[in-house]
Amino acid sequence: MKKFLILISAFGLMGTMAFGQTWNIGYPNEKDVVATLVGGTLTISGSGDMMDFDWYFSPWSQTNKVVIQEGVTSIGGWAFSGCSSLTSIEIPSSVTSIGGAFFACVSLASIDVEGGNEYYSSENGVLFNKDKTTLMRYPQGKAGKYYFIPNSVTSIEGGAFYACRSLISIEIPNSVTSIGIMAFGICESLTHIAAQLLKNHKKQSKFGYFQAIFVS
């Protein structure tokens, strides 16, 4: 119910101004965070948290770049889901929470986190937690057929590589002990996942749906 009411309020406050479209998207105070869309670039500014959005129903589906300014503290759930033209997103040091924000962003090539962020980091456009022990999201539209996961990584979040259709090979270091459900779902070109730990049946049982798409 809370999410439904938030969405109705957000669309009710949408306006078209001389400099572009604007939305009040703060939570709990809607006016604390503002999204402005100008020429394909969505700028999110203000202070505090973003609201959550319904699955596949964010109002700025045609944006191609997102810039989140310092002061915004969270990226709302499903905030950019289905933004098929989105190619890059910039996350400031103030962000402390990221919802399932990048689902079905088929053109997303880079997620860049400011170095001073205490909760998240990025490397070559890939999203990690701060100390790079958790790989959170590999952008769906990132160029390249091969990816070597850094040796610092111990866990891969569910859906981390979901629908990354260009990848054909992923190297997973022995440091990885946890892989979330559907981490590699709908990776249509993926033909090789190299991971020593998968040869151990006891460990393999931890990986859920990952086993169904493993091809050696």
User: Domain limits of the chain?
Assistant: 1-108, 133-216
| CATH ID of 133-216, from 3.50.50.100, 3.80.10.10, 3.40.710.10, 1.10.10.60 | 3.80.10.10
Tell me the CA distances in angstroms from 23 to 20, 54, 77, 172, one per residue in order.
Answer: 10, 16, 16, 41
Per-residue pLDDT tens over the stretch 175-209: 999 999 889 888 889 888 876 555 543 444 344 44
Per-residue pLDDT tens over the stretch 145-156: 999 999 999 999
Per-residue pLDDT tens over the stretch 54-74: 876 678 888 999 999 999 999
CA 9 to chain CA centroid, Å, is 25
Predicted TM-score (pTM) of the model is 0.84
195, two tokens: 């991971």
- What is the spatial distance between Cα 151 and Cα 175, in angstroms, rounded to a whole number? 6
- What is the spatial distance between Cα 44 and Cα 70, in angstroms, rounded to a whole number? 9
Phi, psi of 10 (to 5 degrees): -60, -45
Contact status, residue 197 vs residue 175, Cβ threshold 8 Å: no
